[in-house]
Amino acid sequence: MQASVLVINCGSSSIKYALIPADDAPRLEGIAERLGSQEARLKAKDAQGEAHEGALAGADHAAALAAIFERLDGHTPVAVGHRIVHGGEHFTRASLLDDEVLAAVEQTSALAPLHNPANLAGIAAARELYPELPQVGVFDTAFHQSLPAHAYRYALPASLYRDHGIRRYGFHGTSHAFVSQRADALAGGNDHGWLTAHLGNGCSTCAVWQGQSRDTSMGLTPLEGLVMGTRSGDVDPGLHAHLHRQLGWSLDEIDAMLNQRSGLKGLSELTNDMRELEAAAERGHPGASLALEVFCYRIAKSLAALSCALPTLSGLIFTGGIGENSPRVRAKVIAALPHFGLDLEDAANQATLRGREGRIDTGLGPQLWVIPTDEEGQIAHETRQLLERQA
């Protein structure tokens, strides 16, 4: 396992990790969950793919990271690559996390109060435990810093942007970057215009022209845009005032409803899990069928809107748990874009599942790709690139 990078994705009560070798050697990966409680646990997969689970009672981020290092079978990484959700306008690419850079990350915390503080806790613990290792930050927002102003500005008083940074930032940048670069490699050349659809529990679309993000569906927060597992995506901006004035709901109640009780779950009154939803629709559950219809229509509508950002369309890319595994969702999205001239090959669509990469069009229209995302691999790649630039 030569020149491995340890990739860390720190949440408020969890740490996902993956030790990514420079070659094709197997990855060691796992997750420490329920940190800060007596139920804290570490679930790890070894190089043979075997699962191990152990108690970490009462462990905080630092104790969990120390336990994770012990599970690396004696491999010492060359660097730690940290996923950071929000980089504001400051970060356009991966950055070495020194004191100055960390102060800038802290300043963006107001834009991602639920995510950035957890990312910073993980970075602080990793720096303290392993001061000799370079620590690199890779930002979800960085790939979208190439958006032109007409795509990132809201039509709000300009002072809100100038004084408070209220603008569209976009998220899932690591995933959109990875799948569009992979499609460039598969299609040959990088003179391409791709529409990418990252469809997982969180969902977003992106228009990528010649390797650069030109527009995306998420905005100031990861709530804007598509219907997601439990998130509403776009609603009328007048909804908050309406719910407050007519029903007396507080801002916190409205925020929790839009983030946790909406989306596929809210529409179906059943589940946010696409597998269960498809099975229920199959059995004739009306809420599940409606949730599927709204979900797919809104993806198509978003892709059509984002096509305005591309001079030409090379093709569509599906990724994320749903994009990689649901031929039904892919077919419905494509059927809702009749004027795009897309020509789906049914057999290829049905057969491209469970981590398989493949082209699912007949060759007559724009290309249709299923590309499994690899956010950890992309973070390791960007971390290595940064170290090489600095060598």
16 appears as a binding residue in the annotation: yes
Of residues 322 and 342, the one with the C-beta less far from ligand AMP: 322
Between vectors from CA 279 to CA 276 and to CA 265, what angle results, nearest 5°?
A: 40
CA distance to 136, 173, 211, 214, per residue, from 139 (Å): 10, 8, 17, 17
Distance of alpha carbon 285 from alpha carbon 271, whole angstroms:
12
Of residues 112 and 291, the one with the C-beta less far from ligand AMP: 291
Instruction: Look at strands 358-359 and 367-370 and give their pairing.
Output: antiparallel
Which residues pair with residue 44 across a beta bridge? 30, 52
Sequence-ordered alpha helix ranges (H) in 173-226: 173-187
Of residues 192 and 198, the one with the C-beta less far from ligand AMP: 198
As measured in angstroms, the least distance from the Cβ of 353 to ligand AMP is: 6
233 appears as a binding residue in the annotation: no
Distance of alpha carbon 274 from alpha carbon 263, whole angstroms:
11
Instruction: Look at strands 28-33 and 95-96 and give their pairing.
Output: unpaired
Distance of alpha carbon 285 from alpha carbon 113, whole angstroms:
38
119 appears as a binding residue in the annotation: no
The tokens for 175 are 């995933």
Of residues 200 and 315, the one with the C-beta less far from ligand AMP: 200
Distance of alpha carbon 8 from alpha carbon 12, whole angstroms:
13
Let me know: does 34 contact 41? Beta carbons within 8 Å: yes
Distance of alpha carbon 287 from alpha carbon 308, whole angstroms:
33
324 appears as a binding residue in the annotation: yes
Contact with ligand AMP (CB under 6 A): which of 21, 200, 219, 266?
A: 200
Of residues 87 and 323, the one with the C-beta less far from ligand AMP: 323
Among 98-106, 128-136, 249-257, 319-327, which window interacts with ligand AMP (CB under 6 A)?
319-327
Contact with ligand AMP (CB under 6 A): which of 30, 88, 222, 320?
A: 320
Tokens 């093709």 correspond to what residue? 315
**140 a catalytic residue:** yes
Contact with ligand AMP (CB under 6 A): which of 233, 321, 366, 372?
A: 321
Let me know: does 222 contact 141? Beta carbons within 8 Å: no
Restricting to residues 264-283, which ones interact with ligand AMP according to CB under 6 A?
273-275, 278
As measured in angstroms, the least distance from the Cβ of 325 to ligand AMP is: 3
Distance of alpha carbon 167 from alpha carbon 220, whole angstroms:
6
As measured in angstroms, the least distance from the Cβ of 227 to ligand AMP is: 12
The yes or no reply on residue 322 touching ligand AMP (CB under 6 A) is yes
Contact with ligand AMP (CB under 6 A): which of 217, 326, 349, 383?
A: 326
Distance of alpha carbon 183 from alpha carbon 176, whole angstroms:
11
The yes or no reply on residue 137 touching ligand AMP (CB under 6 A) is no
Q: Which one, of 115, 112, 82, lies nearest residue 97 by Cα? A: 82
The yes or no reply on residue 229 touching ligand AMP (CB under 6 A) is yes
35 appears as a binding residue in the annotation: no
Of 140, 184, 215, 361, which residue is the catalytic one?
Answer: 140
193 appears as a binding residue in the annotation: no
As measured in angstroms, the least distance from the Cβ of 291 to ligand AMP is: 11
As measured in angstroms, the least distance from the Cβ of 229 to ligand AMP is: 6
Catalytically annotated residues: 140
Q: Which residues are annotated as a binding site?
A: 9, 16, 83, 198-202, 273-275, 321-325, 375
Binding-site residue ranges for ATP: 16, 198-202, 273-275, 321-325
Q: Would you list which residues are annotated within the binding site for Mg(2+)?
A: 9, 375
Interface positions with ligand AMP (CB under 6 A): 200-201, 229, 273-275, 278, 320-322, 325-326
